[in-house]
């Protein structure tokens, strides 16, 4: 029914071995023979059987990309950049590799499941994007998995995630702490003394680091933080909306709201507006990531730009072995403060 290598071989009057070599192009084959084989492939409309080839060669051309939420442009942009680097040449048959984007939904279990699935497929490489869950048993399980993958020859790269010691994984870490600090320093510099903070979900490295940066800035300025000023929630606009109303209820005198990311900040803006507060005259707002839509907010969002596409591209190249890993296997990617209309001096 389906065309196999043997069929092509028969048609081209050569042995299966020769056809395989023509297709993989890693062994000398006379030009005339090659041409005959290629013609047969074409005539029969032959398509290599991936699993069989992977089994025989003990490697596959799958590359896994783990993301927390594929519907979030933060991950979409990174995934896109990673994938663009993966498709390129440098591999076997045609050099095409299949990027597998896996959506963990932020769930530790699914993350582990996907890692196992990828291990099962003998993936050529795996890139994990975004923050990790800070839960000891889970973190250990993931680390163990990464180590196994590495031992099996799968290249593991972390993009926008803290290093995973002893796993052999290359890490391109975002400087969330530094960015968070810079952002809050900017607000403090503007004169703000009462700042609300809408943090992401607890138990996530990204959440913690950004919050730590914020607090470091407060501490450095001698501002004592009121516990009521911090609210946790998911990384989406809805959470930002609700958290802002909560913050306003707890302390109506806040003059600035710092959000865990841009989507959250957008929700915060909506809540403030509905509460009759002007941005930035009454309350300043700041986000994080600088996603494409942030500049279209009204007023445009002050935020910290993360070079998502650049970092993703680099991670992709490293995963494909087309770029040297950073010394020590760890590199820190810094963000850049983008001051725009949503932040200004406090009222009064």
Partner DNA sequence: AGCGTTACAGCAAGCGCTTTCTATCCAATG
Partner DNA sequence: CATTGGATAGAAAGCGCTTGCTGTAACGCT
Q: Which residues in this chain contact a second copy in the complex, by CB under 8 A?
A: 2, 45, 47-55, 60, 62, 69-73, 75-77, 79-80, 83-84, 87, 96, 98-103, 105, 110, 113-114, 116-122, 148, 152, 236-237, 263, 266-267, 269-270, 273, 292-293, 295-298
Beta bridge partners of 302: 286
Classify the phi-psi angles of 105: left when phi > 0, otherwise alpha if psi is within -120 to 50, otherwise beta: left
Kindly tell me which residue out of 10, 38, 44, 57 binds DNA, with binding defined by CB under 7 A.
57
By CB under 7 A, residue 191 contacts DNA: no
Q: 297 is in the binding site of which of a second copy, DNA, none (Cβ under 5 to 8 A by kind)?
A: a second copy
Q: Which is nearer to a second copy, 3 or 337 (CB)?
A: 3
Give the burial string for 175-196 (b: 16+ CB within 10 Å, else e).
bbbbbbbbbbbbbbebebbebb
By CB under 7 A, residue 32 contacts DNA: yes
Beta bridge partners of 275: none
Q: Which is nearer to a second copy, 141 or 190 (CB)?
A: 141
Cis peptide before 280 (omega within 30 of 0): yes
Q: 107 is in the binding site of which of DNA, a second copy, none (Cβ under 5 to 8 A by kind)?
A: none
- DSSP secondary structure string, 124-177? SEEEEESPPB--HHHHHHHHHHHHHHHHTT-EEEEESS---TTTT-EEEEE-HH
The C-alpha atoms of residue 230 and residue 260 are separated, in whole angstroms, by: 11
Q: 23 is in the binding site of which of a second copy, DNA, none (Cβ under 5 to 8 A by kind)?
A: DNA
Kindly tell me which residue out of 11, 21, 208, 314 binds DNA, with binding defined by CB under 7 A.
21
* Contact indicator for 333, 175 with CB cutoff of 8 Å: yes
By CB under 7 A, residue 11 contacts DNA: no
Neighbours of 170 (CB within 10 A): 26
Kindly tell me which residue out of 45, 58, 252, 328 binds DNA, with binding defined by CB under 7 A.
58
Question: Three-state SS string across 41-73, please?
Answer: HHHHCCCCCHHHHHHHHCCCCEEEEEECCCCCH
Residues 82-111 that bind DNA (CB under 7 A): 93
Kindly tell me which residue out of 10, 44, 49, 323 binds DNA, with binding defined by CB under 7 A.
49
Q: 102 is in the binding site of which of DNA, a second copy, none (Cβ under 5 to 8 A by kind)?
A: a second copy
Q: Which is nearer to a second copy, 75 or 229 (CB)?
A: 75
Which residue, chain included where needed, has tokens 């975002």? 174
By CB under 7 A, residue 48 contacts DNA: yes
Residues lying near DNA in the complex (CB under 7 A) are found at 2, 4-6, 13-18, 20-21, 23-24, 26-30, 32-34, 46, 48-49, 52-53, 55-58, 93
């Amino acid at each position: 029914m389906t065309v196999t290598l043997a069929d092509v071989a028969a048609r081209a009057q050569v042995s299966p071995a020769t056809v395989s070599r023509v297709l993989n192009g890693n062994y000398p084959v006379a030009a005339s023979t090659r041409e005959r084989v290629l013609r047969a492939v074409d005539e029969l409309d032959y398509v290599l059987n991936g699993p069989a080839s992977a089994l025989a060669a003990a490697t596959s051309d799958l590359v896994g990309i783990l993301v927390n939420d594929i519907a979030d442009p933060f991950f979409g942009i990174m995934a896109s950049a990673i994938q663009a680097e993966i498709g390129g040449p440098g591999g076997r048959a045609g050099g095409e590799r299949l990027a597998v984007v896996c959506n963990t939904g932020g769930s530790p279990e699914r993350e582990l499941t996907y890692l196992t699935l990828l291990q099962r497929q003998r993936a050529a490489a795996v890139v994990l994007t975004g923050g990790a869950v800070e839960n000891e048993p889970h973190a250990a399980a993931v680390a163990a998995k990464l180590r196994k993958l590495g031992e099996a020859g799968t290249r593991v790269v972390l993009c926008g995630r803290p290093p995973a010691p002893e796993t052999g994984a290359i890490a391109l870490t975002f400087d969330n702490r530094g960015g968070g600090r810079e952002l809050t320093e900017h607000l403090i510099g503007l004169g703000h003394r009462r700042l609300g903070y809408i943090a992401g979900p607890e138990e996530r490295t990204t959440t913690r680091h950004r919050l730590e940066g914020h607090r470091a800035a407060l501490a450095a300025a001698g501002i004592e933080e009121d516990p009521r000023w911090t609210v946790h929630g998911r990384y989406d606009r809805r959470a930002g909306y609700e958290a802002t109303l909560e913050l306003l209820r707890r302390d109506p005198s806040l003059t600035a709201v710092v959000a865990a990311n841009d989507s959250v900040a957008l929700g915060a803006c909506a809540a403030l507006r509905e509460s009759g507060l002007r941005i930035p005259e009454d309350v300043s707002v700041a986000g994080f990531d600088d996603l494409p839509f942030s500049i279209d907010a009204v007023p445009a969002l002050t935020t910290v730009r993360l070079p998502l596409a650049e970092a993703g591209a680099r991670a992709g190249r490293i995963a494909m072995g087309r770029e040297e890993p950073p010394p020590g296997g760890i590199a820190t990617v810094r963000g850049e403060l983008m001051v725009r209309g949503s932040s200004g001096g406090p009222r009064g």
